[in-house]
A and B are shown apart, each in its own frame.
Chain A
Amino acid sequence: MLTLITFIPALGALLIGVISRERQALIRGVALFASLVTFALSVWLFFAFDPTQAGMQFTEERSWIPEIGISYHLGVDGISLVLILLTTFLVPLLLLAPWDAIKERLKTFSIMVLLLETAVIGVFLSLDLVLFYVFWEAMLIPMYFLIGIWGGEKRSYAAIKFFLYTMATSVLMLIAIIMLYFNSGLAYPTFDWSDLKNMHLGPMMEFWLFLAFVAAFAVKIPIWPLHSWLPDAYSEAPTTGTILLSALMSKAGLYGLLRFGLTLFPNAAVELAPYLLALALIGVIYGALVAAAQKDLKRMIAYASLSHLGLVAIGIFAMSSLATTGSVLQMVNHGVIIAALFWAIAILMERFGKRGLDDFGGAMSRMPRFAALFLVFMLAAVALPGTNGFVGEFLILLGIFLTKYQLYAIIGASIAILTVVYMLWMTQQVFHGPKAPQVETSSRDLEPQEVALLAPIVALILWIGIYPKPLLERISPSVELLISQAQSRIEQAQEMPQTHQDSQSGATP
C-alpha cells in the first residue's frame, strides 16, 4: 500500500516520458491522474489508519540490498500520515495551476513535479536510514531542474547554490549514517531505524553524529544561520517550485529532525537543546524583521516562512510532547498557508507583471474576491483564532511554556505581533490605499476556476482551525510514543555513570 502511494507518481512520470511532447492535454491528464490517485490512496490511508495505535502501521519490509545490510522498510505513523496527506493534497493543485511560465516544456515539468512527489513521500515513509537518504537526495535533482529551467533571471545561480548548500551537509549525514551502522553496538549491524532507536552510543559519538544529522536537516528547514540559500532559491524558483520548497521540502527537514534526530540521539538532543532553541529563536526574530523590511513580495513571504519554520523547530527541540504535537500540526498548517500565500503572489504577478510592494495599491476595488481570499490566508499566517495557524502556534507555545524553556515561549509569542504588523501592512499596501496606476488596466478578479483551485485550501485552513481533532488524535499518540522512547533512552544513559545530564529537561504535561 505504502509502496503504491510512494511510486504511483514516479510511474506517472515514466508514462509521461514516453508520450510525445506535442500532446499537452494527455500529459496534463496523466500527471493529474497519477497525483489524484495518490491523493485518493492517502485519504484512504488517513481513514484506515488506527488512531489508537501509536506505533508504525502498514509497515512493509523487504530485503533490498542484503549484501550491505540495507532493507526496504516503509511505515506510517501519525506524524508521517498527516505530512503525506499534505503532500498528496498540494501536488494535484499545483499541477492544475494555470501559470503561464509552465506552458512551455510541460512534459519535463510534469515529470519533475511527479518525481519530486515520489521523493518527498519516500522521505516521510522510509524507516531504513539508507532508503531515507536515497529519497532525501533524490529530492534535490527534480528541484534543481524546476529552479534551473523555469526560474527567474538568476535561476542558474540560485539552483546550484541550493544544490551545493543542501548537499554539502547531507553528505555529512551520509557519513554519520554509516558510522551509526558500525557503532550502534547492536548484536547485528543495521540501517533500520526501528532497531537503531534502541542502541547505545558513547556520548562523544552521539554528539558528533547528532550534529551531522542536524546540519543536514537544519539546512533543509532552514534554521538560521544556514538559511542563506533560501531567499535566492525561493524568489528565483517558479511558483510551483517555491511552493514545493517551502511547503514540502522544509517539512522533510523538520520531519527528519523529529524522526531521526530526536529518537536516535536523544541525549545529544537534550544536551544541545538550549543552543538549537536559541538558533531557532534567532531565526524567528530575524525572519520576521527581514520580512518586514522587504520590498519584494516573494522575498517577504520567503522570510516570513523562515520565521514561522523557526517556531516549528522550537516546538521540536523542546522535547515536550505537547509542543511537538503542535509542531507537527503546524507543519501541515504552514504547508497549506505558505502555499496559499505564494499562490496569491503568483496571481498578483501574473496580473501586474511585477512583485514589488510599491507596484501595488488599491487592488481591493478591482479584485474583491481575491482580496477576501487573501485576507483568509493572511489571517491564518498571523495565527488568528479560528484559522489553522492559531491551533498549531498555540499548542507549540503552550507546550514550551510548560517546560523549562518558558523564556522562548514568551519571546516567540511577542514575535507573533511583529508578524501581524508586516503582514497587515503588506495587505494594506496591496489592497487598500491609493490606487497604483496599473490597477485600472491590469487587475482582473479571480476566474471561477481559480477560485475552485483555491477553495480546497481555504476549506482546509478553516477546517483545521475549527475542528483539528481528526488530525490531532492521529498525531498525538505517535508523538507521545516518540518522546517517551527518547526519554527512556535518556534515563538509561543517566544510569550509566559517565554521563551527566539534566533530568529536568522535557517535562511533559
Chain B
Amino acid sequence: MTSLDLIVLLPELMLVGTALFVLLLDLFLHAEQRQWLLWVSLLGVVAAGVANGLIPTQGAPLMQEMIRFDEISKVLNFVFLLGCGLALVLSADYLVRQGIARGEYYALVLLSTLGAMFMGSSVDLLMVFLGLETLSIPLYILATFLRRNTSSQEAGLKYFLLGAFSSALFLYGIALVYGATGTTQLSAMAQEKTSLLLYAGVGLLLVGLAFKAAAVPFHTWAPDVYEGSPTSATAFMAVAAKAGAFAALLRVFALALPPTLADSWTLLVGVLAVLTMVLGNVVAVVQLNLKRLLAYSSIAHAGYLLIAVASAQSATLMEPATSSLLFYLLIYTLMTLGAFGVLLVAEGKGENLSMTDLGGLAIRHPWVAAAMAIFMISLAGLPPTAGFFAKFYVFRSAIQAGELGLALIGVLTSVVSVYYYLRVVYYMYMRPAAVERPVHISTLALAGIALAAVGVLVLGIYPPLVLGWIQQTLSVLP
C-alpha cells in the first residue's frame, strides 16, 4: 500500500472516520444535543464529497489491483454521497420523532454508503463482493431499526434472509467465474475464452446483483421491506442499494465481460428489464399505500436502468450507455429521495400513509404539495423535469444499440406509470382532506425537499449542467 493509495481512498477513509466518530460522540451527548450527530455526519459526507472532487483520477488500478479511481468512480461516488447526505437531511426530524436519532443510525448510513462506493470503484470481483456486503449489512440493521415495531422486525428479517441468500449466489458465481478463468480480476476476465462454467458464473452474478437492484423476478422482498422499515431507512435503501447494484452491474457486465459473451448477457438483462418494467408499473397501479407505491415505482425504475445496462453492447455503445446510466442514477436519487422526503414530513410517527391521507395537501401546504407534484411528474418521466431527460437518454442509447423493442416497452410502461403517479397528484390537489393530518414541517426537511425539487427542475430545463461532466467518463472507457 503506497501513500498514493491512501490519498485516493481519502473519501472512503473520511466516511469511515466520521462513522466511528459519530458512534463515539453519541456516548458523550445528552439527548437534546443529538442534532450534533447529524451535523457531524453531514460534515463528513460533504468533506468526502469535496475530497472526491479534488483528488485527481488514476488510470491504473490501486490497492493490489482491487480498486480503480477513475471518472466513473468519481461520478458514482458523487451520486452515493448526494444520496446519503440528502437522506440524512430529510430524515433527521423523523428520527427524532420516532426516538431513533441515535449515533448508530448515522454510522450505519455512512458505512452503507461506503459499501456502495467500494462497489462503484472495484475492479475485482472479490472487491465487488466486499462492497456488496458492506452496503447490505447496515441496510439489514436499518430496516429493523424500529426494534419494538413488529413490521420493522419482519422487514429486517425478510431482507436479511433473502439478502444473505443472494449474496451466497453472488459468491458462488465468483467461484465459478474463477474456476473458468482463473482470475477474479475484471480486466483479466475480458481476455478469457468463454466456457459453460463462465456462463453459469456470470448468470449467478447477475442474479445476485438483480436481487439488490430489485429487478423482477428477484424483487419480491422489496414491497414488504419498504413498507415495514422506518421510512427514513426506506428512503436511503431505495437509493443506495439500487445505485450500488447498478454501479456493480456497470463494472462487471458492461465494462469487464468478454465481448464474446455480450450477446447472451445483454439478452438476459433485456429480458429482466422488460419483466421489471412491466410488472413494476402494472402492479403499482393498484397500490394505495404510498410506501408500497414507491416500492413498486423503484422496481419499475430498475427496469429503465437495466435498459441502459443492456445497451452497453459494444465499445462504441459503451459511452452513451454508461453516461445515460449515470445520469439516470443521479436523477433517480434526487426524485426518489424528494418523494420520500415529502412522505417523511407527512408521516407523524411511523403510521403507514395511504393516498387518501394526502387529501387536501395542496390547500394546507401548497409548497410541499407542489414539490411532491414535481417529483411525481419527474418519476413519470414528463418534461420539463429531469425525469424526462433521464428516460430520453436511456431510450436514446437503447435505440442506438438497436434495442427498439426495449425502448418501445419502456415508453409504453411509462404511460402506465403516469396513471399512478398522477393519482398522488390527484389526491393532493383535487380531493378535500379526509382527516386533517398534521404535517411535520421543519426548516431542515423543507430545505432538503426544496433542494431535490430545484435539482429536478433545473436539470430538467438545462441537463448539460451535469451531463457534460458525466460525459467526461467516456475518456476512460476502453
Contacts and interface: CB of A to CB of B under 8 A. Distances in A.
A174 B392 CA distance: 8
A174 B411 contact: yes
Nearest to A21: B366
Contact of B429 (A134, A149, A171, A178): A149
A160 B423 CA distance: 9
Contacts of A175: 395, 399, 404, 407-408, 411
Nearest to B384: A138
Interface string A169-191: 00110110011011000000000
A42 B19 CA distance: 60
Interface string A126-159: 0000100111011011001100110000011001
Given A133-B383, A138-B383, A172-B411, A178 B396 contact: yes
Nearest to B320: A68
B467 A171 contact: no
A273 interface: no
B321 interface: no
A140 B462 CA distance: 20
A168 B413 CA distance: 9
Give the dominant DSSP class at B's interface.
Answer: helix
Interface string B422-433: 110110011000
A453 interface: no
Given A65-B464, A174-B411, A178-B395, A156 B426 contact: yes
A141 B468 contact: no
Contacts of A148: 426, 429-430
A394 interface: no
B469 to A, nearest CB: 10
A324 to B, nearest CB: 29
A137 B393 CA distance: 16
Contacts of B165: none
A411 interface: no
A249 to B, nearest CB: 16
B414 interface: yes
A164 interface: yes
Contact of B419 (A64, A67, A164, A182): A164
B422 A144 contact: yes
B377 interface: yes
A65 B467 contact: yes
A149 B422 CA distance: 13
Given A21-B366, A175-B407, A175-B408, A137 B382 contact: yes
B304 to A, nearest CB: 13
Interface string B369-380: 000000001000
Contacts of A155: 430
Contact of B399 (A108, A138, A145, A179): A179
A405 interface: no
B161 interface: no
Given A134-B388, A149-B430, A174 B418 contact: no
B407 A67 contact: no
A66 interface: yes
A135 B461 CA distance: 11
30 contacts: A21-B366, A66-B468, A67-B463, A67-B468, A68-B392, A68-B393, A68-B396, A133-B383, A134-B383, A137-B388, A138-B382, A145-B429, A148-B429, A149-B429, A149-B430, A155-B430, A160-B422, A167-B382, A167-B415, A167-B418, A171-B412, A171-B414, A174-B392, A175-B395, A178-B392, A178-B395, A178-B399, A179-B404, A182-B399, A182-B400
Given A137-B388, A149-B429, A182-B400, 7 more contacts: A108-B366, A141-B382, A144-B425, A155-B430, A156-B426, A172-B408, A178-B392
